[in-house]
A = this chain, B = another copy of it.
């Protein structure tokens, strides 16, 4: 056997890195879904040790030397390998900018804060979370400063770039400003345009039946349960690793739609994860193209597809059969009205697609102020409530319906929200491209045939892994750079048409 080239040795190092990071992902899933209450400290030690190992691989002199030597011989590499090398370098550069001790402390602090968030949320008591959030905040601030300095980015951009490589506040801000100008009137008009409140049938919908139905729909969409799981958890998320993708959801016995659409959201992520290129497994180029691309997938399934007339036409009889119900309320027209109802509400994950962007943008504003130290953790609940009131003219009745609704900040996930907003815009743009490529899309959805839809996404998005940049991938899939125009066209036709 000839000796391995520097590039091949790098592949080996990153395979090891991926296995350890995968182990950490599984343990994070477990922490959210399975872990007993008082085990957070032990788990924190495990995650910290894994993070330290992963960090140690990235910053090792060996990897530095191999990257240098592989760079010098890059002309002999295939395109995807050169992209892999670029992603390796990106990951290494970030790691070098962050001291291992800071990573370990952040892993421990956020494991603790996540467990406390669950408690705080269930007790509706922000004070349970506050000191832990404070600790996470301080560590995130340190990290963003260090990474930003090393990569020549503003601290907040250092975090956004971590979520979605290449995205910058300077590109996001103009999109947000134009949306912020249009949204109040759009929401107002959409609320006026919609028919009188459709009556929601009262009743109880067995959680185990909801679960079965969700699994049935996941199967129809092509989610491979022999390579994944579906469980209940406090907050819906998709975790695990390629080859073992784990969806979680929360069901509400009084509402058969809320949990189901959360599942559709997660299915968007999970199909992306399961569709990533097998041949590049364990390599940086084999990963997804960041949070904004992921949110594009989830938003496409949950909102653009999931709340469309043809999809609901397929869904309605499933619901009627599943819950043994009938009547006008369970006809697709009434269901679609419920599912596309615009409403100034308090909870982001329950929001319609218009107010959703308001929710996300207010979080962006708050997290930037938190990071800059302009807003103290102690003052966050009041600032939250004030923002909600200013933007939506309603006020959270308590912190559970306010600042405690999302886990992101507790686990140190700053920079996620702007990517989530871009994902919403991307979903509309992907949908336009999909309709051009698949003239029978609507008939397929009505018939519950998702092969062509998911096949198109596999070819245009999933299979590219991280080979192209976000911008390149958007252009190659949709023919143009990301803009707000398709989304505005889409909501105009859907809500005001």
Contact = CB atoms under 8 A, between A and B. Distances in A.
Contacts of A241: 42, 46
A282 B23 contact: no
Contact of A226 (B37, B42, B45, B49): B37
B23 A49 contact: yes
Interface string A32-60: 00111111011101101110110000000
A273 to B, nearest CB: 12
Interface stretch (A14-22, A198-206, A348-356, A408-416): A14-22
Given A243-B41, A282-B45, A50 B23 contact: yes
A269 interface: no
A243 B40 CA distance: 9
A53 B57 CA distance: 11
A228 interface: yes
A93 interface: no
A26 B225 CA distance: 21
Nearest to A18: B45
A244 B40 CA distance: 9
Determine the main DSSP class of A at the interface with B: helix
A115 B18 CA distance: 22
A486 to B, nearest CB: 36
Interface in A196-250: 224-229, 241-244
B36 A19 contact: no
A27 interface: yes
A227 B36 contact: yes
Contacts of A27: 23, 26-27
B36 A49 contact: no
Interface in A273-303: 282
A18 B45 CA distance: 9
A452 interface: no
Given A16-B52, A27-B26, A52-B16, A226 B38 contact: yes
A255 interface: no
A446 interface: no
B22 A45 contact: yes
Contacts of A229: 34, 36
A30 interface: yes
Given A34-B34, A35-B244, A244-B35, A42 B22 contact: yes
Contact of A45 (B19, B35, B38, B48): B19
Given A36-B244, A227-B36, A229-B36, A26 B46 contact: yes
B34 A46 contact: no
A46 B30 contact: no
A16 B48 CA distance: 9
Contacts of A45: 15, 18-19, 22, 282
Contacts of A48: 19
Most chain B beta-carbon contacts within 10 A, residue among A16, A20, A48: A20
Given A26-B30, A30-B26, A53-B20, A36 B226 contact: yes
13 contacts: A16-B52, A19-B45, A19-B46, A19-B50, A22-B42, A23-B46, A35-B244, A39-B243, A42-B242, A42-B243, A42-B244, A46-B241, A53-B53
Given A34-B34, A36-B227, A38-B243, 10 more contacts: A19-B46, A20-B49, A23-B23, A30-B30, A38-B224, A39-B227, A39-B243, A42-B241, A42-B244, A46-B241
Interface of A: 15-16, 18-20, 22-24, 26-27, 30, 34-39, 41-43, 45-46, 48-50, 52-53, 224-229, 241-244, 282
